[in-house]
Amino acid sequence: MTTALWCVLIAGLMPLLWTGFAKVTAPRFNNRDPRTWQANLEGRAKRAHAAHLNSFEAFPLFLAGVWVAHQAGVATTTLDSLAIAYIILRLGYGICYLQDWHAARSLVWFAALGCNIALFFLAASV
């Protein structure tokens, strides 16, 4: 299995990292009514939950990009490099969210999106 495919697994599990952070840092997680608990989050825990949701939103395009690039025969080193960059950027995105660095968060988000777009363009050029 290639590094890029392992990155797909990591990206798929990344929402758990951010929601775990929210659950650990916020008071009294209520597993009987998690939606109400999430709606009442504040501060860093609320931002961690937002990073959690955004990780779910960003995942499908990354998955599709890696799959399309694999199917098209994009060079493994290039594909792996973009996938690793995406994971690093998405971790940075979550950290920026937790720290409330909104401008940096947007830049990192666009850079990660650029990795996804690059995967499709590379696939198209093979």
Tens-digit pLDDT profile for residues 13-44: 999 999 999 999 988 887 888 889 999 999 99
What pLDDT score does 3 carry? 98
Q: Which of 110, 72, 82, 111 is nearest to 7 (CA)?
A: 82
Residue 63 has pLDDT above 90, yes or no: yes
Q: How far is CA 56 from CA 1, 24, 112, in A?
A: 23, 20, 14
Cα torsion through 13, 18, 22, 24, rounded to 10: 60
Query: pTM to 2 decimals?
Result: 0.95
Classify 30 as helix, strand or coil. Answer: coil
What is the tens place of the pLDDT at every residue in 78-90?
Answer: 999 999 999 999 9
Residue 108 has pLDDT above 90, yes or no: yes
Residue 11 has pLDDT above 90, yes or no: yes
Domain 3-26+34-125 has CATH 3.40.228.10: no
Domain borders along the chain are 3-26+34-125
State the Cα–Cα distance between residues 79 and 126, nearest whole angstrom: 12
Give the end-to-end CA distance of the chain in Å, rounded to a whole number: 21
